Chain A
Amino acid sequence: MNNIYLKQAIRGIKSNPSRTLLTTLGIMIGIGTVILVLSAGEGFKSYINSQVEAFGTNTVIVQTSVPSSTKSRSGGSSSKEANNSASNAVPITTLKIHDIEDIQNLNNVKNAYGASVGQQIVTYKGISKTALIFGASAARFDIDKGVIANGRGYSYQEDKSLSQVALLGSKVASDLFGDTNPVGKEIRIGNSNFEVIGVYASKGGFGPMNEDEQVFVPVTTLQRKIQGIDYLIYGVVELMDNSKADATSLGIADLLRHNHYINDPIKDDFKVQTQKESLSTFDTILQAVTFLLIAIASISLIVGGVGVMNIMYVVVTERIGEIGLKKALGARGRDILYEFLIEAVLLTLIGGVIGIIGGSFFAFLIAKFAESMGLAWKFIVPIWGVIISVSVSMIIGIVFGVFPARNAARLDPIVALNRE
């Protein structure tokens, strides 16, 4: 029965539990980090996916973009300064509302809206608040999945006619109005008065992208009445058939080049990105970060493995008499080898399992924290991550246990017995 090896290994490990725990600390931290990184990565992915879904999965984003030819050009008349400011502050002003209207006429395009954003002070009855003012065409209400909890959205007509109407994010509404119903009330955005016509349901989120903290107005009103500009920051295009997204985005690019008098794609002042593309960009970044963190965790695993090897050498020395006895009683070299190998694997496995539990626990805390921030963050411990972690910790046990175990197996029974 093979359980002799297991029984002896368990006895060895139980003989010094605190040493066992200390020995496996490196493995615990290493495996724990791997699980934490993988789980948090999955959770972050789930959050991003939910954000993308809120945008609509069958959409293409058109963004203004500094042409790469400008960025790479050096020398010339206004070179350096222009260069810096171009990539930093000066916005690209070429994307106009008529571009979006033209896009709407393309094949496979169901709907589209243009958007501009700006920061303004919003005031109601002496209470004021700085908020991001988000201007979009009325088509936004058909494309985005935001829920208007109270009131209504603005119409195409209101957008065209520069109506001064606004929808509030849930946080803005509660900050300015408290318990009062904001719909129908007059607020001040910058220097103009706006009528509140609707309040969004809370979406959750953090940072400047938190829509609960934003105010939504017709894009033309924002451009003309508040910002005094006529260009857009970006546009969102809804497709009929998402499988043709690549062809459609090429069509959009052609159209914009035609409208902007661009004949060389390198001079594009815009970027057309399908959801698939933005997800894959994000995936690439996430993978790189995951890879980096796991590489760091591997150092801990190697250090942990060396720690296990070190302790196994000590254990072999401690048990020389016992090894001699077992050999006298008929244990072969390979019996001794297996006993010590299994003990080493058991050590690293214990570390691995504790690491998996600990890593999952911290990932769970992160998920709970993210949830409490209102993010749609799922707690996921990828099963393949667990399988890999268990395998890796066992492999570490074998790799770092084999040398001490071989030393034990090769002991001469007489020498070993006499050491007692």
Chain B
Amino acid sequence: MVDIYTKPKISVAQIVLLFSILVLVVVVGIPVILIFLTAFFEDGKLNIPGFVQILKDPDTYQALWNSLVIAFGTTLVSTTVGVFFAWLVARTDLPFKKTMKALFLVPFMLPSFIGALAWKVLLSPRAGYINKFLMALLGLENAPIDIMSMGGIIVIESMYLFPFVFLQVESALERMDPTLEESARISGAGLLTITRKITLPLVLPSILSGALLVALYSLAHFGVPAILGTEKGIYNIPTKIYERIYSSGGSFRAIRVGTILSTILVISAALILKAQDLLLKKGKYQIIAGKSMRPMLLKLRALRTPLLIVSILYIGITVILPTVTIFLVGGLKTYGLSFELKNLTWANYLEIFRWKMTKDAIWNSVYLSLGAALVTMLAGTMISYVIVKSRPRGKFILELLGVLPFSLPGTVIALGVILTWSGRFGINIYNTPWIIFVAYVARYMAFSLKSNSAALQQVSDSLEEASRACGATHFQTLKNIVLPLIRPGMISAFFLIFLPALRELTTSVLLYGPTTRTIGVAIYALNEDGETVRAAALASVALIIILVGETSIRNFLARLQKQE
């Protein structure tokens, strides 16, 4: 008898595809659609005038304007600082380059809202330690520096965002074919001309893509404006949405205003991403080629030591000063006392682990970020595999949905999750940790997709085909060939989600309930209540957790890389 193999009506690939689409639809699709629906429709009718009216409201209009000004200013300052230090490290004979390069990436580790908290302690016009010191020293009536202003917000955000630009530009400069600059030199151009006419234009795509990352981030950033602006009545879009919802006790009208502002955020983010996409396509120069000789380095000569001092001072002021401040304030017996040994106590730190609110917050953050990282990583692996490798019909839906998470700021995700999961579809998880969990999965799906699809693109199709030709089934091929090969990508996706989720504030601040505060929320709430010392003590504990986490993970990844 001849055994004829017939294909089942629905193949495994199709089931996986459908499941992937389902995940994306539920996690990001529905929330986004609900935001747009709520923004544009009222009582089932299209309501454009209502939409316009809310944007015209001076209160919301001002928030919109502030968001743009902060994003623009932050992008400008971060880009300038980032390009300058990248050039200094990659193209001059600055001493201790390797160390300096590592140091310039440290600001990434310090959560910006904790930095903002420290700067508020140091430079707030009323009680800032540095301001008080300067006033006493110079005999001034008023505080010389007011960090709680638009300018202050821009400067503090730039301090912690410039590594985005630094990282991109430094690596572009390092990988650039040095003969591109040498041929300009032999053509008669001096170093300044070369920098201006050859080097900078060639790394322009990297500069711009770093700048756009900063813009994307600062446009929808909650922490710094919340800590430095709210008290003075300075709001950007995320803090305005929070203020409206919080002050109205979560009324639908406030949420509707939130969705309208969110729509603006999503559109701006989409435009920024589109711009980046166009740039990357246009700027796809082949600048990495040829045998790599040592690139020529500008001899700084007399400026060498001063510039090193400037760099070290910069790190000292942006990283060490705020960190030390946070630790010291966290140990004060009462806020406002001077930093003398007799005013400091360990009790505050111990209290963090005894007090229910802070204890809960640490625990919530740890398990929520671990859980979200694991689930998002696995879902991202599956979805990336379908997008990159298999070519079933209907894949385009998935690709469309797959880009969506990239353009969703944290505030928008929080709103969408509220609209979706507070009973409308029969499931109400509002005020439970689950709603934060769902929001984290949506928020970090983009990271997971990026990391996983990058890893999958490295796995050539022929490797899978070779395995199939050897007689392995599709499933065996996945298990024995594909998964081991993309494991580094999966692991890095896990940590790319776990670390930022641990310190998350923007999304969870809109979603927390009485017992579901995260670390970020708890620090923010304590600060709002004027409990500066407790906020600082919790922030110190958070910094230690982050530092330990980052270092052990970096060591782990380094060891993994050695094994490969």
The yes or no verdict on A and B being binding partners is no
